[in-house]
Amino acid sequence: MTTKKTAQKPTATGSGSRKSSSSILIYINGKLIPKKEAVISVFDHGLLYGDGVFEGIRAYNGRVFRLKEHLDRLYSSARAIVLKIPMTPDEMQKAVLETLRANNLRDAYIRLVVTRGVGDLGLDPRKCPRATVIIITDSITLYPKALYEKGLSVAIASTRRNIPEALNANIKSLNYLNNILAKIEANLANTPEAIMLNAEGMVAECTGDNIFYVKGKHLVTPPTAAGALNGITRHCVMQLASKVGLTAEEKLFTSYDLYTADEVFLTGTAAEVIPVVKIDSRPIGDGKPGRYTQKLIATYRALASQEGVSIPS
């Protein structure tokens, strides 16, 4: 990895201090470049056609949480669209860690993007000889702290999830227009998130998060076949369920099951675990974050703060 002469290499300290957002360094194709100079070609097919894949990853207390799982999913998504990533997973991991180190970040959000690369104005991916690799490391606040304590009010969108035969949700691609259309509905309804149903009317996921409900001692989430992304945080929460006294399962369900649930919550790398207390203006349970949701929030945060690949100092 090389660094442009214009980019000063930050001195790492053990204090957890960080560069300001305006002065962060962005990794692009092997170079660390100042944010204001970090650009890609207008002929990049990631820009022209949403042709590429990405991952959102978190670092806590100087460790990158579930980095291997995120990289495995990135490379699986790339294989599914016949996109050759010009780095091995080990090289990618080193690049992620070096970018965090260069920006002196111990707690961060990492956006890892691989596009088809520069081509022409046609669709043909064969015209793109080499993929573009971008690593952005910065902070993120998806929801205000108060919403983790009071819970979200969400709406069910009329926009249906893409059918798997058209674009499989397990491909974490740059083409997010389906989700954005549902997000626009959430904005118009003055809610921070929207639930998406699949073509058969079954609950799939939200615009940027997976969804769970609790009924009795059962924790339920849609299967990936319903149109849900196989989320890393989703999988982690299912593993943690038994620690809080729940049995986790995947099964198809409808909006009725959400309306009549004891508790509902969302999961995602950026969102972590966040309670839902209203859906379509209907209160869920007693209209407050449920006790199992609160336990899972605490259990997940404890795990994320202790586990992960260390960022070099």
Catalytic residues: 172
Going by their DSSP bridges, the two strands 272-279 and 152-156 should be labelled as parallel
Q: What beta strand segments (E) does the chain contain?
A: 2-3, 25-28, 31-34, 52-60, 63-64, 108-115, 132-138, 152-156, 194-197, 203-206, 210-215, 218-221, 247-250, 263-268, 272-279, 282-283, 309-310
CA–CA separation, 107 vs 16, rounded Å? Answer: 8
The three-state DSSP-derived secondary structure of 25-76 is: EEEECCEEEEHHHCCCCCCEHHHHHCCEEEEEEEEECCEECCHHHHHHHHHH
CA distances from 250 to 86, 110, 154, 211, 270 (A): 35, 28, 22, 11, 22
Beta carbons within 10 angstroms of residue 86's beta carbon: 14
* Residue 100 φ/ψ, nearest 5 degrees: -65, -45
* Residue 110 φ/ψ, nearest 5 degrees: -115, 125
* Residue 212 φ/ψ, nearest 5 degrees: -135, 155
Angle made by CA atoms 47, 49, 52, in degrees to the nearest 5: 75
Cα 243 from chain centre: 24
